Chain A
Amino acid sequence: MVEVAYFTLQQVSTTLWRQLLNGVLLLPSGEDEVMHLTTPGDAIWALLEEPLTLAELAQALSTAFNVSFETVLADIEPVIIELAESGAISKTVTPK
C-alpha cells in the first residue's frame, strides 16, 4: 500500500521514453526491458514531468477522466509501484 500523502513522485530524467499512439514506452536507466505503459496509464507519466504527491496525481487523473478519487487511487497504485521499482520514476518522502 502506497501512502497517499507522504511521497512525491517524479519522472527520473535518465529514463528514456517515447510517445506511442496507445501509450508510452519507457526504458529506465539500468533496466534491459522496455516498459509499455498503455493509455490511459501514459497520463501518469505525462503528469509526473512535474513532482506530484500521490494524492495530487490521483486528483489530477480523477478530474481528467471524471472518475472518483478512490477508484483512481486503487487503479494507479500498482502502476506507481512498478514504475518506482523499475527506476522510471523517483519516490521521495515529502516533508510534512
Chain B
Amino acid sequence: MDALIASESAGELLLRALAGYGIAGNPLPDAAPENHVFRQMLRTAEDERLLGALAESVAAGAFPLEQDQIDVLSEHHADWLTHALRIERLLVHVSDAFETAGIDFRVLKGVALAHLVYPDPSWRVYADLDLLVRSDQFDAAVRVASTELGGVQEIPELRPGFDSEFGKEALVRVGRIELDLHRTFVTGPFGLTIDLDELWRDATSFVVGESKVLALGPTGLFMHACYNTALGDLPMRRGSVRDLLLCCAHLDTNMDAVAATAGAWRATAVVQRAAELVIDSVDLAADHPLRELARLSVPRREAWLLRSYLTPSRSYSRQLASLAVISGVRPRLRYVRALVAPSGEYLRSRGWTERSHLRRAARRLRGARRG
C-alpha cells in the first residue's frame, strides 16, 4: 500500500513538473524512478497528453532515466508521433479538398499548438485533427470530408440544420483518423456566446510539408486554450495546462485584451477557471500573467452556466443551460425540438428509440438535480 501511495504521489509530482516543464518551478526527479513507478508515470503521462513533455525533458537531460526506460519511452513516443504524422498527412489532403471547394478553415488544438507554441512539434502528441469551419460552410465541409476524403460521419446531427446553428462539431472518421469539424469551441452555453465572426478576423500560419495552413489569431488561440483547460475534459487533462502556459509564453497576447474578449463573449468564468486550474496545477511566479486572469470577477450568471459543465450529467445539463443564451423564440423552439425529438437517423445511429432517449435524459437530469 505504501508503495502504491508513493508511486501515486510520485506520479502526481511528475505530472506537475511536466505540465510546467521549462516554465514553472516544479522540479523533475533527479534520479531514475523504479521500473514499476516509471510504468505508472508513463501511463499517466499518456493519459494526460504529457508524453511529449516527458520525452522533451529526457532529451534535454533534465530527467534522468535508465536506458531500458528510455527505450520504452521512445517506443511509446514513436507510436504517438507516427499517428501525428498520419494526422498531418490528412491535414494536407483536407487543405487541398477544402481549398478546391472554397471552404475556409482554421487548424485548432493539438496540431496548431504543436507548430505554433511548442519548441518542437515532436513535444506535443495528439489523437485527432480539429478544424474550425464557418457556420454557413459547415454542412458543405462535412459533405466534402465525406465525398472527397472517404470520411464517415458515424453520429449524424440531432436534426437536419442543428449542427450549423447550435452544434459544436461534427465527427468524421477518415480511415483510422478522427476529423473533428468544429463550428465553435465547446458544446453548451459557452460555445453559443462566442463571437464566431471575430475568430475569422485574425490568423496565424504554419507550414506542414509544403502546405501553408492557417490557425486562429493569437487571442483566438489563447482563448481556445482557456476553453479547453476549463471545460474540455472532466477531470481536466494536464496537457491542457501545458498548452495554456506555452500559449501565454509564446503568443503575443495582452491579458487586458483577453479579459476584454472574455467579457464580450460572456466567458469570463471560463478564462478565470482556466487560470485558476493552471495556478493550482503548477508553481507559477508571483507576477505570472495568468494570475491577473485568475483575479477576474465572474458574473453570477456565468458562474451558474459554468456549473452545467461540471456535473456528471453534463452531456444533458449543458444542453439545457444553452436555452439561457439562445436568443429568440423560434431558435429556442428549434433547439428544444431537436433535443426532445431527434431524427430517426440520429437515434438509430446510437441504438436508441424515442422513448429510451427521453427516459435516459430524464434519469440523467434527475441525477444531476440530486447531485
Which residues of B from 37 to 71 have beta carbons under 8 Å from A? Answer: 55, 58-59, 70-71
Additional A-B contacts beyond A14-B209, A15-B209 (17; CB < 8 A): A13-B210, A16-B209, A18-B84, A18-B85, A18-B122, A20-B78, A20-B122, A21-B55, A21-B74, A21-B77, A22-B70, A25-B78, A25-B81, A25-B82, A29-B209, A34-B85, A36-B78
Can you name 16 A-B residue pairings with CB atoms under 8 Å?
Answer: A13-B210, A16-B88, A16-B208, A18-B85, A18-B122, A20-B55, A20-B78, A20-B81, A21-B59, A22-B71, A22-B74, A25-B78, A25-B82, A27-B86, A29-B209, A34-B85
Which residues of B from 162 to 214 have beta carbons under 8 Å from A? Answer: 208-210
Mark contacts of A1-40 with chain B using CB atoms, 8 A cut-off: 1 yes-contact digit, 0 otherwise.
Answer: 0000000000001111111111001010100001010000
Q: Which of B59, B89, B120 contacts A27 (CB 8 A)?
A: B89
A20 to B209, CA, bound (A): 18
- Interface SS of chain B: helix
Q: Does B121 contact A (CB under 8 A)?
A: yes
Docked-complex contact B74 and A20, CB < 8 angstroms: yes
**B58 smallest CB distance to A (angstroms):** 6
**B68 smallest CB distance to A (angstroms):** 13
Docked-complex contact B122 and A34, CB < 8 angstroms: no
Q: Does B116 contact A (CB under 8 A)?
A: no
**A29 smallest CB distance to B (angstroms):** 7
**B142 smallest CB distance to A (angstroms):** 25
Docked-complex contact B210 and A14, CB < 8 angstroms: yes
Interface residues on B, range: 20 to 34
| Nearest-CB residue, chain B, relative to A13 | B210
Query: Which 7 A-B residue pairs are closest in the complex by CB-CB distance?
Result: A18-B81, A27-B85, A14-B209, A19-B122, A21-B74, A22-B74, A34-B82
Docked-complex contact B85 and A17, CB < 8 angstroms: yes
Interface residues on A, range: 10 to 19
Contacts of B120 in A (CB 8 A): 19
Docked-complex contact A20 and B85, CB < 8 angstroms: no
Docked-complex contact B121 and A21, CB < 8 angstroms: no
**B175 smallest CB distance to A (angstroms):** 10
**B177 smallest CB distance to A (angstroms):** 13
| Nearest-CB residue, chain A, relative to B56 | A21
Chain B CB within 10 Å, residue with most, of A13, A14, A17, A20: A20
**A12 smallest CB distance to B (angstroms):** 9
Which residues of A from 39 to 91 have beta carbons under 8 Å from B? Answer: none
Mark contacts of B66-102 with chain A using CB atoms, 8 A cut-off: 1 yes-contact digit, 0 otherwise.
Answer: 0000110110011001101110110000000000000
Contacts of B84 in A (CB 8 A): 18
A36 to B88, CA, bound (A): 17
Chain B CB within 10 Å, residue with most, of A18, A29, A36: A18
| Nearest-CB residue, chain B, relative to A20 | B78
Mark contacts of B108-140 with chain A using CB atoms, 8 A cut-off: 1 yes-contact digit, 0 otherwise.
Answer: 000000000000111000000000000000000
A77 to B206, CA, bound (A): 34
| Nearest-CB residue, chain A, relative to B55 | A21
**B64 smallest CB distance to A (angstroms):** 13
